[in-house]
Amino acid sequence: MKNETVNKYFDFSAINYNLAYKKADDVKSFIFHERKRIVLDMFDVKSGKVLDIGCGPAVYTDNLSEAGYEIYGVDSSERMIEIAKSKNFKNAKFFVGTVENIKFADNFFDGVLCVGVLEYLNSIEDGIKEIARVTKHGGIVIFTVPNGLSLLNKLDLLLRNIVKFAYRLLKVNIIKRVMCFDYESKLVYKNELDAVLERNGFKVENSRFHIFRLSFLNKIYPKAVILIAKKMNFISSPLLAINYVVKCRKT
């Protein structure tokens, strides 16, 4: 389950997170839009009930609603769910909850989206096991995670840890100065994730590494960072791309 620090972070950032999907002029928005495009391209469920676990402010619901699915959105952030409900989608229901304890019956959903969630869990396996429980046999699930193989992700993590160490050494409150909330999400490795999926009854059908981002330069040269990200978007190397998207089927 997301810990309280992470929940507070997402409550705090809910409005900006929602706005990021309406923008196109910064690297975070570009990454969100690209991830959404890839996820929806892979999501080929014909019809039925769809769970968006970690739905945030319902940023995928517009497309899912247009496709005619019966949508159920779940997020551990109360503020995210408030924003999702305020959008008044007719064929969508939203609930506060966690991925490790999904309040639905076994084999309930025809498809599941789990976008940007696993990296915040204490146990990735517990989350995937619960998703497997509520997914019908033959159902499609799409997961996205930060790519643990990416040298850019590792460099970004190293630089952030150096900054945190320096601030603590100087006895400066890093939470107030630069980070809002002092936590780190996990980097997830493809082989480890694929193995957990297989153990829990999923067969990987498609996957993709995507987005080239130099996030450590974002504070200094934000325009250059988004320009590079757009120009280098064709790169799908496991050693460089920062995100991993995987489509699997419950067997």
Q: Domain locations in the chain?
A: 4-250
Instruction: Kindly indicate the confidence band of residue 223, based on its pLDDT and cuts at 50, 70 and 90.
Output: confident
What's 213's DSSP letter? -
What tokens appear for 48 in the block? 């039925």
Taking the mean position of all CA atoms in its chain, how far away is CA 38? 12
State the Cα–Cα distance between residues 90 and 58, nearest whole angstrom. Answer: 13
Instruction: Kindly indicate the confidence band of residue 40, based on its pLDDT and cuts at 50, 70 and 90.
Output: very high
Q: Is the pLDDT of residue 171 over 60?
A: yes
Average pLDDT, the chain: 88
Q: What percent of the chain has pLDDT over 90?
A: 62
State the Cα–Cα distance between residues 127 and 80, nearest whole angstrom. Answer: 20
Residue in 125, 189, 181 with CA at minimum distance from that of residue 154: 189
CA distances (Å), origin 80, targets 17, 76, 171: 9, 8, 33
Can you name the residues that pair with 70 across neighbouring β-strands? 49
Residue in 133, 154, 140 with CA at minimum distance from that of residue 213: 154
As a whole number, mean pLDDT of residues 59-84 equals: 94
Q: Is the pLDDT of residue 177 over 60?
A: no
pLDDT at 184: 66
pLDDT digits 0-9 by tens, 51-70: 999 999 999 999 999 999 99
What tokens appear for 216 in the block? 């450590």
**CB burial class (10 A; 0-12, 13-18, 19+) of residue 89?**
middle
pLDDT at 18: 80
- Contact (CB, 8 A) for 245 and 39: yes
The side-by-side arrangement of strands in the sheet containing 202-210 is 92-96, 70-75, 49-53, 109-115, 135-146, 243-250, 202-210
Residues 6+ apart with CB under 8 A from 94: 55, 58, 72, 73, 74, 75, 81, 84, 85
Instruction: Kindly indicate the confidence band of residue 173, based on its pLDDT and cuts at 50, 70 and 90.
Output: low
CATH of span 4-250? 3.40.50.150
